[in-house]
Amino acid sequence: MTREIAIIGDRFMLPDVFRREIEKVCGGDLAIRTKEVPWPDEPMEHGYAVAGMDGLKEYFGDPDEVVDFIGGAEIFVTQLSPMSSQMMDRLPALRLIAVSRGGPVNIDMDAAHRHNITVVNTPGRNASAVAEFTIGAILAETRLIRVGHEALRKGEWRGDLYRADRTGRELNEMTVGVIGYGNIGTRVVRLLRAFGCHVLVCDPYVQLTADDRNAGVELVGFDDLLTRSDVVTLHARVTEETRRIINAEALARMKEGAILVNTARGPLVDYDALYDALASGRIGSAMLETFAVEPAPADWPLLQLPNVTLTPHIAGASVRTVTYAAEQAAEEVRRFIAGLPPLNPC
Cα distance between residue 299 and residue 320, in whole Å: 34
Range of lowest pLDDT (40-54, 80-94, 153-167, 181-195): 40-54
- In 3-state terms, what secondary structure has residue 146? helix
pLDDT value for 93: 97
| Of 313, 327, 331, 332, catalytic | 313
| Of 158, 190, 294, 335, catalytic | 294
User: 111: closest CA among 54, 73, 60?
Assistant: 54
Average pLDDT on 309-315 reads 94
The percentage of residues in the chain with a pLDDT greater than 70, rounded to a whole number, is 100
pTM for the model stands at 0.89
Taken in order 255, 261, 262, 264, the sign of the CA dihedral is negative
State yes or no: is 265 an active-site residue: yes
Average pLDDT on 265-288 reads 95
Q: 287 Cβ partners below 8 Å, 6+ apart?
A: 137, 138, 140, 141, 259, 260, 261, 262, 263, 308, 309, 310, 311
Q: 69 Cβ partners below 8 Å, 6+ apart?
A: 6, 8, 33, 35
Find the Cα–Cα–Cα–Cα dihedral 248, 254, 259, 260, rounded to 10°: -50
- In 3-state terms, what secondary structure has residue 78? strand
Average pLDDT on 100-116 reads 94
pLDDT value for 295: 83
Confidence of residue 179 (pLDDT cuts 50, 70, 90): very high
Model confidence pLDDT, tens digit, residues 203-255: 999 999 999 999 999 999 999 999 999 999 999 998 999 999 999 999 999 99
- In 3-state terms, what secondary structure has residue 1? coil
pLDDT value for 102: 86
Phi-psi region of 61 (alpha: psi -120 to 50; beta: other; left: phi over 0): left
State yes or no: is 235 an active-site residue: no
State yes or no: is 149 an active-site residue: no
Average pLDDT, the chain: 94
pLDDT value for 223: 97
pLDDT value for 294: 79
The structural domains of the chain, ordered by start, are 3-125+318-338 (3.40.50.720), 127-310 (3.40.50.720)
Average pLDDT on 27-32 reads 90
Q: Does residue 176 register a pLDDT over 90?
A: yes
Cα distance between residue 88 and residue 92, in whole Å: 7
| Of 3, 198, 235, 265, catalytic | 265
Q: Does residue 49 register a pLDDT over 90?
A: no
